[in-house]
Each structure stands twice: as C-alpha cells, then as structure tokens.
Amino acid sequence: MAKSKPQIKIQSFGIYNQWNSKEKELPRIQQFTTDIKAKLDIEFGFIVNIKKAKGEKIYYCIYHPDIPDKNGIPLAPFDGEIYIKNNDWNFYLGDTIWLPIEDKLGLWRMTIELNKKIIAEKSFTLEEDEPRGFFDLGKR
C-alpha cells in the first residue's frame, strides 16, 4: 500500500503575540499581514499545519535582509531541522526584532522544506514604524 501524500496548509500568517519556544502552545495571531511595522520585540511569521507526515524531517530557513554581525559581516540565514511529531501537526516559523531596528528593515523570506521541496513559504516586508521625513529633526 502506498504511503499517503502529506497535506500542508498555512493556518495563519502575520503578527503574533510574544512566543516562548520552550512552551508547547504556539503564539496567537494578532493581525494577518505581510507588511510589518518594525518595532522592538514584534513577533511575525506563520503557522503551518502538516498532516500525514509523522516522523518526517522538515528543514526551515529564515532569509533576512543581510543583518550584520558585530564586525559588519552579514549573518547567515537562520535555519534548522525538526521532526514532525504527529499526523496532524502545527508548526510556527517566525522571528522577532531586536536592536538596532534599522538593520532589520527589508524583505524577510521564510521557507519550510520536506524531502528537499518547499512545502510552505511566506515573505514579510519590515518597514519603519515611524518614517522620517526630509525635515524631521528627531523626537524632542
């Protein structure tokens, strides 16, 4: 008998409440969007539901806009692997913003692969929370 083909569905995407990766519960969606106003500690990403793939391994990757390390060298994309825990599994892939905010602006692309094929992806544009005008002299 042939093995069933995995079923994949993006459940939600956008801005979430703060998430603790050590907790079993996934974050809750606050706003569906792909345009993110960059604020300190804002949580964004997506939740994917994967059915009929228990025991398989997924590879996830977060491509960010060349965030520099302390020496000015762009960091590698954030990535990793995880095993699918059951036959109806929800997985959150996301990130948050830290200081300095300015180097986090731009396109963030998140992908999930199963058997070397992208099964889910979402891109987010991080933009300034308060755009500065030509004559902006800063906050007083």
Query: Is 119 within 8 Å of 10 (Cβ atoms)?
Result: no
Q: Are residues 97 and 116 in contact, defined by beta-carbon separation less than 8 angstroms?
A: no
What would the pLDDT profile of 86-129 be if each residue is shown by its tens digit? 999 999 999 999 999 999 999 999 999 999 999 999 999 999 98
Give the end-to-end CA distance of the chain in Å, rounded to a whole number. 71
The radius of gyration of the chain's CA atoms, rounded to the nearest angstrom, is 17
Instruction: Quote the pLDDT of residue 133.
Output: 53
Query: Which CATH code of 4.10.910.10, 3.40.20.10, 1.10.3720.10, 2.60.40.2390 fits the domain covering 7-16+28-128?
Result: 2.60.40.2390
The 10s digit of each residue's pLDDT in 25-54 is 999 999 999 999 999 999 999 999 999 999
Q: Residue 3's closest CA among 118, 117, 115?
A: 115
pLDDT score of 140 more than 80: no
- Spell out the domain ranges in the chain: 7-16+28-128
